[in-house]
Amino acid sequence: QVQLVQSGAEVKKPGASVKVSCKVSGYTLTELSMHWVRQAPGKGLEWMGGFDPEDGETIYAQKFQGRVTMTEDTSTDTAYMELSSLRSEDTAVYYCATEDTYYFDYWGQGTLVTVSS
Amino acid sequence: QSALTQPPSASGSPGQSVTISCTGTSSDVGGYNYVSWYQQHPGKAPKLMIYEVSKRPSGVPDRFSGSKSGNTASLTVSGLQAEDEADYYCSSYAGSNNRNVFGTGTKVTVL
Protein backbone atom coordinates (compact mmCIF):
# COMPACT_ATOMS: atom_id res chain seq x y z
CA GLN A 1 0.00 0.00 0.00
CA VAL A 2 1.42 3.36 -1.03
CA GLN A 3 1.41 6.16 1.53
CA LEU A 4 2.23 9.77 0.68
CA VAL A 5 2.98 12.24 3.46
CA GLN A 6 3.39 15.90 2.56
CA SER A 7 5.14 18.76 4.29
CA GLY A 8 3.29 21.32 6.37
CA ALA A 9 1.47 24.51 5.50
CA GLU A 10 3.41 27.48 4.16
CA VAL A 11 2.84 31.24 4.08
CA LYS A 12 4.76 33.14 1.42
CA LYS A 13 4.94 36.69 0.15
CA PRO A 14 4.19 37.56 -3.48
CA GLY A 15 7.23 36.99 -5.67
CA ALA A 16 8.72 34.33 -3.41
CA SER A 17 9.10 30.61 -4.08
CA VAL A 18 7.74 27.61 -2.22
CA LYS A 19 8.95 24.01 -2.16
CA VAL A 20 6.54 21.28 -1.06
CA SER A 21 7.74 17.76 -0.28
CA CYS A 22 5.99 14.39 -0.57
CA LYS A 23 7.50 11.41 1.25
CA VAL A 24 6.69 7.96 -0.15
CA SER A 25 6.38 4.80 1.91
CA GLY A 26 5.24 1.32 1.02
CA TYR A 27 6.94 1.53 -2.38
CA THR A 28 10.07 3.20 -3.72
CA LEU A 29 9.76 6.40 -5.70
CA THR A 30 11.34 4.74 -8.73
CA GLU A 31 8.38 2.36 -8.91
CA LEU A 32 5.91 5.22 -9.08
CA SER A 33 4.92 8.04 -11.41
CA MET A 34 4.46 11.09 -9.19
CA HIS A 35 2.26 14.02 -10.19
CA TRP A 36 1.07 17.24 -8.57
CA VAL A 37 -2.47 18.63 -8.48
CA ARG A 38 -3.63 21.83 -6.84
CA GLN A 39 -6.98 23.15 -5.61
CA ALA A 40 -7.63 26.82 -4.93
CA PRO A 41 -10.08 27.59 -2.08
CA GLY A 42 -13.59 26.63 -3.13
CA LYS A 43 -12.41 25.68 -6.61
CA GLY A 44 -11.78 22.52 -8.62
CA LEU A 45 -8.76 20.31 -9.15
CA GLU A 46 -6.01 21.43 -11.50
CA TRP A 47 -3.26 19.16 -12.84
CA MET A 48 0.19 20.79 -12.68
CA GLY A 49 2.50 18.14 -14.03
CA GLY A 50 4.36 14.95 -13.27
CA PHE A 51 6.62 12.15 -14.39
CA ASP A 52 5.88 10.53 -17.75
CA PRO A 53 7.24 6.95 -17.67
CA GLU A 54 6.86 6.62 -21.44
CA ASP A 55 9.40 9.38 -22.07
CA GLY A 56 11.26 9.18 -18.79
CA GLU A 57 10.80 12.92 -18.38
CA THR A 58 8.80 15.28 -16.23
CA ILE A 59 6.03 17.10 -18.07
CA TYR A 60 4.36 20.31 -16.96
CA ALA A 61 0.98 21.80 -17.73
CA GLN A 62 1.41 24.68 -20.13
CA LYS A 63 0.02 27.11 -17.55
CA PHE A 64 2.90 26.43 -15.14
CA GLN A 65 5.81 25.97 -17.55
CA GLY A 66 8.75 28.15 -16.58
CA ARG A 67 7.46 28.61 -13.04
CA VAL A 68 7.30 25.08 -11.64
CA THR A 69 9.99 22.47 -11.08
CA MET A 70 9.29 18.91 -9.96
CA THR A 71 12.19 16.85 -8.67
CA GLU A 72 12.78 13.56 -6.89
CA ASP A 73 15.32 12.34 -4.33
CA THR A 74 15.36 8.59 -4.78
CA SER A 75 17.71 8.14 -1.82
CA THR A 76 14.95 9.31 0.53
CA ASP A 77 11.94 8.44 -1.66
CA THR A 78 10.82 12.06 -1.52
CA ALA A 79 9.31 14.10 -4.35
CA TYR A 80 9.38 17.88 -4.47
CA MET A 81 7.37 20.57 -6.21
CA GLU A 82 8.79 24.08 -6.33
CA LEU A 83 6.68 26.99 -7.58
CA SER A 84 8.30 30.36 -8.11
CA SER A 85 7.14 33.95 -8.64
CA LEU A 86 4.19 33.34 -6.37
CA ARG A 87 1.08 35.48 -6.67
CA SER A 88 -2.15 35.56 -4.69
CA GLU A 89 -3.83 33.29 -7.24
CA ASP A 90 -1.39 30.53 -6.27
CA THR A 91 -3.02 30.25 -2.84
CA ALA A 92 -4.22 26.66 -2.87
CA VAL A 93 -3.90 23.19 -1.43
CA TYR A 94 -1.21 21.31 -3.32
CA TYR A 95 -1.48 17.51 -3.57
CA CYS A 96 1.03 14.92 -4.70
CA ALA A 97 -0.58 11.88 -6.30
CA THR A 98 0.67 8.74 -8.00
CA GLU A 99 -0.43 8.15 -11.57
CA ASP A 100 -1.20 4.76 -13.10
CA THR A 101 -2.24 4.78 -16.77
CA TYR A 102 -3.66 8.29 -16.66
CA TYR A 103 -5.52 8.05 -13.36
CA PHE A 104 -4.44 9.06 -9.86
CA ASP A 105 -4.69 6.19 -7.40
CA TYR A 106 -2.90 7.41 -4.26
CA TRP A 107 -2.95 10.96 -2.89
CA GLY A 108 -1.07 12.87 -0.23
CA GLN A 109 -2.99 14.70 2.47
CA GLY A 110 -2.39 18.07 0.83
CA THR A 111 -0.30 21.13 1.70
CA LEU A 112 -1.89 24.57 2.03
CA VAL A 113 0.21 27.31 0.49
CA THR A 114 -0.98 30.83 1.28
CA VAL A 115 0.42 33.76 -0.69
CA SER A 116 -0.15 37.04 1.09
CA SER A 117 1.67 40.29 1.63
CA GLN B 1 -6.67 23.08 -22.22
CA SER B 2 -10.17 23.82 -20.90
CA ALA B 3 -11.67 21.98 -17.97
CA LEU B 4 -14.24 19.30 -18.67
CA THR B 5 -17.83 20.44 -18.05
CA GLN B 6 -19.84 19.01 -15.16
CA PRO B 7 -23.13 20.21 -13.65
CA PRO B 8 -22.48 22.24 -10.47
CA SER B 9 -24.86 20.17 -8.40
CA ALA B 10 -26.92 16.99 -8.27
CA SER B 11 -29.11 15.52 -5.58
CA GLY B 12 -31.19 12.53 -4.63
CA SER B 13 -32.91 10.93 -1.68
CA PRO B 14 -31.40 7.96 0.15
CA GLY B 15 -31.80 4.81 -1.91
CA GLN B 16 -32.28 6.70 -5.17
CA SER B 17 -29.77 7.02 -8.02
CA VAL B 18 -27.94 10.09 -9.26
CA THR B 19 -26.02 10.45 -12.52
CA ILE B 20 -23.32 13.06 -13.11
CA SER B 21 -22.20 13.99 -16.61
CA CYS B 22 -18.73 15.04 -17.75
CA THR B 23 -18.55 16.63 -21.19
CA GLY B 24 -15.33 17.15 -23.10
CA THR B 25 -14.21 16.96 -26.70
CA SER B 26 -12.83 14.45 -29.16
CA SER B 27 -9.36 15.49 -27.95
CA ASP B 28 -9.96 14.19 -24.43
CA VAL B 29 -13.07 12.28 -23.26
CA GLY B 30 -14.12 11.23 -26.75
CA GLY B 31 -10.67 10.30 -27.93
CA TYR B 32 -9.53 7.92 -25.20
CA ASN B 33 -10.94 5.39 -22.76
CA TYR B 34 -9.03 7.02 -19.91
CA VAL B 35 -11.78 8.72 -17.92
CA SER B 36 -11.54 8.57 -14.15
CA TRP B 37 -13.76 9.82 -11.31
CA TYR B 38 -12.84 11.10 -7.86
CA GLN B 39 -14.84 11.66 -4.69
CA GLN B 40 -13.79 14.45 -2.34
CA HIS B 41 -15.24 15.10 1.10
CA PRO B 42 -14.69 18.55 2.64
CA GLY B 43 -11.14 19.07 3.82
CA LYS B 44 -10.02 15.70 2.50
CA ALA B 45 -7.90 14.52 -0.41
CA PRO B 46 -9.69 13.17 -3.49
CA LYS B 47 -10.34 9.43 -3.66
CA LEU B 48 -10.31 7.39 -6.86
CA MET B 49 -13.75 5.85 -7.55
CA ILE B 50 -13.65 4.86 -11.23
CA TYR B 51 -10.81 4.51 -13.74
CA GLU B 52 -10.63 3.69 -17.45
CA VAL B 53 -14.27 4.75 -17.86
CA SER B 54 -15.92 1.94 -15.92
CA LYS B 55 -13.44 0.04 -13.73
CA ARG B 56 -13.74 0.15 -9.94
CA PRO B 57 -10.69 -0.01 -7.68
CA SER B 58 -10.73 -2.58 -4.93
CA GLY B 59 -12.83 -1.38 -2.00
CA VAL B 60 -15.13 0.93 -3.97
CA PRO B 61 -18.77 -0.21 -3.63
CA ASP B 62 -20.45 -1.53 -6.77
CA ARG B 63 -23.08 1.21 -6.28
CA PHE B 64 -20.64 3.37 -8.23
CA SER B 65 -20.52 2.82 -11.98
CA GLY B 66 -19.12 4.67 -14.96
CA SER B 67 -19.86 4.85 -18.68
CA LYS B 68 -19.08 6.91 -21.76
CA SER B 69 -20.85 7.88 -24.95
CA GLY B 70 -19.06 10.05 -27.48
CA ASN B 71 -17.58 13.09 -25.76
CA THR B 72 -19.58 12.64 -22.55
CA ALA B 73 -18.74 10.38 -19.63
CA SER B 74 -21.10 9.64 -16.74
CA LEU B 75 -20.87 8.51 -13.14
CA THR B 76 -23.92 6.86 -11.59
CA VAL B 77 -24.32 6.38 -7.87
CA SER B 78 -27.08 3.88 -7.13
CA GLY B 79 -28.71 3.32 -3.76
CA LEU B 80 -27.57 6.72 -2.47
CA GLN B 81 -26.27 6.78 1.08
CA ALA B 82 -25.54 9.70 3.37
CA GLU B 83 -21.79 9.16 3.07
CA ASP B 84 -22.01 9.65 -0.72
CA GLU B 85 -22.59 13.36 -0.14
CA ALA B 86 -19.39 14.90 -1.52
CA ASP B 87 -17.84 16.68 -4.47
CA TYR B 88 -17.15 14.55 -7.52
CA TYR B 89 -14.61 15.28 -10.24
CA CYS B 90 -14.03 13.60 -13.57
CA SER B 91 -10.67 13.53 -15.30
CA SER B 92 -9.49 12.48 -18.74
CA TYR B 93 -6.27 11.88 -20.59
CA ALA B 94 -5.94 14.69 -23.11
CA GLY B 95 -2.94 13.74 -25.21
CA SER B 96 0.79 13.85 -24.68
CA ASN B 97 1.00 17.64 -24.39
CA ASN B 98 -1.77 18.26 -21.88
CA ARG B 99 -1.93 14.76 -20.48
CA ASN B 100 -4.55 15.20 -17.73
CA VAL B 101 -7.55 17.50 -17.50
CA PHE B 102 -10.11 17.64 -14.68
CA GLY B 103 -13.78 18.45 -14.72
CA THR B 104 -15.33 21.47 -13.04
CA GLY B 105 -16.74 19.37 -10.22
CA THR B 106 -20.24 18.41 -9.05
CA LYS B 107 -21.56 18.69 -5.52
CA VAL B 108 -23.81 15.75 -4.72
CA THR B 109 -26.35 16.30 -1.95
CA VAL B 110 -28.25 13.48 -0.30
CA LEU B 111 -31.64 14.92 0.62
DSSP string, B37-77: EEEE-TTS--EEEEBTTTB--TTS-TTEEEEEETTEEEEEE
Average pLDDT per consecutive 10 residues, chain A (117 residues; last block may be shorter): 96 98 96 97 96 90 94 96 97 97 96 97
Interface test with B, best of A4, A102, A107 (most B CBs within 10 A): A102
What residues of chain B lie within 8 A of the CB of A50, using their CB? 99
Which of B20, B22, B18, B21 shows the shortest CA–CA distance to B101?
A: B22
Q: Does A60 touch chain B (CB under 8 A)?
A: no
What residues of chain B lie within 8 A of the CB of A108, using their CB? 45
Of the pLDDT bands very low, low, confident and very high (cuts 50, 70, 90), residue B2 is: confident
- Could you say which of B34, B47, B102 has the minimum Cβ distance to residue A102? B34
